[in-house]
Amino acid sequence: MINGLTTSLVMPCRNEAKHLTQMVAELPDFYDEIICVSNKSTDDTVKLGKKLEKTNNRFHMYIDDRCASGIGYGYAHMTGIAHAKGDIIVCADSDCTYPVEDAPRILNEMKKRNLLLASCTRYPDSTIPFALQLGVKVLNFEMFLLYGVVIHDSLSGMWVFRRDVAPRLHLTEGDWNLSPQIKLNAHRYLGTRFGEVKIVQKTRQGETKQRYLKTGLGHLWWVAKNRFVQRKGVQPAD
């Protein structure tokens, strides 16, 4: 519980067995609920998750094996969010890169700034490889040109929001594009009550499954396409 609000942590998970148990053991007590959603894990992620469920009553393991071109990151998040019961939802990768222990600070800043959803920006951070920084900058600029969104980290994988705003986010993307979608939709439907809060990224545990160039090009195309197929009949923020 943070400031009297119950809090759920939602994590997509593919083949993170090597550090899952330790990561869960080290999570702060203020998380009332820890939701892990495996997508096509081929290692012991699900087995370990099911074992953890028996010993840790905060922990829940779900499986959502839906994929779009082999990726199910977005499906996993949507399933996790749908199951979350907390007043506050914190979404983050399960590779220990995001400082989920910062949730109280992030929520305090959200309160001060009257935000309903915060996307946690890793930038500026000079330790992030140049090619990744450049890719994110190109995408930030595309979002600015096409949507007028001023954003520093269009691909942050950590978001904090009140559960009751989840339906207003209209999340639909099952692959990596859920990440740009949540920011663009928060900007569209929450207006000034969407903002970024600075975090410091940590070292990844386990191996990456990311194909940076392919994913980056996929984002560039999706962000452009989405601009012209924006959902009709849904009212933007007032």
Ligand X SMILES: Nc1nc2c(ncn2[C@@H]2O[C@H](COP(=O)(O)OP(=O)(O)OP(=O)(O)O)[C@@H](O)[C@H]2O)c(=O)[nH]1
197 phi and psi, to 5 degrees?
A: -125, 135
Give the shortest CB-95-to-Mg ion separation in angstroms: 4
Can you tell me the distance from the alpha carbon of 165 to that of 190, in angstroms, rounded to the nearest whole number? 9
By three-state DSSP, how is residue 109 classified?
A: helix
Binds 72: which of ligand X, Mg ion, none (CB < 5-8 Å by kind): ligand X
Assess contact for 178 and 163: CB atoms under 8 A: no
Tokens of 140: 């930030």
173 belongs to the binding site for Mg ion (CB under 5 A): no
Give the shortest CB-97-to-Mg ion separation in angstroms: 5
62 belongs to the binding site for ligand X (CB under 6 A): no
Can you tell me the distance from the alpha carbon of 171 to that of 177, in angstroms, rounded to the nearest whole number? 10
16 belongs to the binding site for ligand X (CB under 6 A): yes
**Cis omega (within 30 of 0) for bond into 124:** yes
Tokens of 200: 């410091």
**Toward ligand X, which CB reaches closer, 1 or 200?**
200
Give the shortest CB-93-to-ligand X separation in angstroms: 4
133 belongs to the binding site for ligand X (CB under 6 A): no
Of the candidates 64, 52, 63, the residue with the CA atom closest to the CA atom of residue 24: 52
Give the shortest CB-75-to-ligand X separation in angstroms: 7
Give the shortest CB-229-to-ligand X separation in angstroms: 23
Question: CB-based burial of residue 63 (10 Å sphere; 0-12 exposed, 13-18 middle, 19+ buried)?
Answer: middle
**Toward Mg ion, which CB reaches closer, 183 or 188?**
183
Would you mind telling me the total number of residues written for the chain in this entry? 238
Alpha helices (runs of H) in 94-163, residue ranges in sequence order: 103-113, 130-147
93 belongs to the binding site for Mg ion (CB under 5 A): yes
Binds 209: which of ligand X, Mg ion, none (CB < 5-8 Å by kind): ligand X
What x-and-dash track marks residues 89-128 binding ligand X by CB under 6 A?
Answer: ----xxx-x-------------------------------
Q: Which residues bind Mg ion (CB under 5 A)?
A: 93, 95, 97
